[in-house]
Amino acid sequence: MRPDFDEDKDIKIMGQYNNNDKEDTVQAEHEYHLQHGNIEKARQFGAIMADEVMAWEGDQDNTDLLLNEQFLYVFAATVAFDCFTPSRITAVTALSAFYDRIKQSSPEFYTTISSSPAFSFYYLCLRNRSDLGKCVGQTFAMLCGCGEDKNLIERGKRLYSDFLVSAQGKSSQLKFA
């Protein structure tokens, strides 16, 4: 026997969801962070970290390596915003300020990082939380074209770790509420 798709008796409603409740909660959270200065601090944090990425000098003789180090730092900054700001709203604010600052400082670099597939590979590491640093190091080495190079793996791991430590210190100095 063929089911009667015109009847609604097989449809179950699991409960009412009021979209306004979620919007009210997000608005209240945004107001809290705005009133306590966290939105402005997040903007400052994003700009500070962008300046740090842009100031990275690395190995000036190897522009491919330098670019891959900067890609790694951009990824590390996105992780830092999630880890070292008080909420998702402030993390997104910091990330937006970060990209705005890079776009303002170096439109060419902004275009390069916006079109790079590197971040997709790094974001896969976030799923491997058991050893994130090792995964980031391996990804860095792979993107440099030397996936098995232990020195590059360690370098990527160290750069990532050092950047996060720096970001944590800068976030602490801003004194988010």
The pLDDT assigned to 21 comes to 57
Any domain includes 18: no
The pLDDT assigned to 8 comes to 47
The pLDDT assigned to 5 comes to 44
The pLDDT assigned to 22 comes to 60
The pLDDT assigned to 60 comes to 74
Do residues 20 and 153 lie in contact, with contact meaning Cβ atoms separated by under 8 Å? no
Any domain includes 9: no
Question: What is the count of structural domains for the chain?
Answer: 1
Any domain includes 15: no
The pLDDT assigned to 20 comes to 56
For residue 105, the one-letter residue type is S
Domain that holds residue 56: 33-174
Give me the tens of pLDDT residue by residue for the chain, a chain 177 residues long.
444 545 544 444 444 545 555 666 878 888 888 888 999 999 999 999 999 999 988 777 788 899 999 999 999 999 999 999 999 999 999 999 999 999 999 999 999 999 999 999 999 998 877 789 999 999 999 999 998 899 999 999 999 999 999 999 999 999 998
pTM over 0.85, yes/no: no
Any domain includes 20: no
Any domain includes 120: yes
Alpha helices per DSSP H over the chain? 19-35, 38-55, 63-84, 88-105, 107-115, 118-125, 132-143, 150-174
The pLDDT assigned to 37 comes to 92
Any domain includes 108: yes
DSSP string, 70-120: HHHHHHHHHHHHHHHSSSHHHHHHHHHHHHHHHHHH-HHHHHHHHH-SHHH
Q: Whose CA is closest to 87, among 122, 22, 42?
A: 42
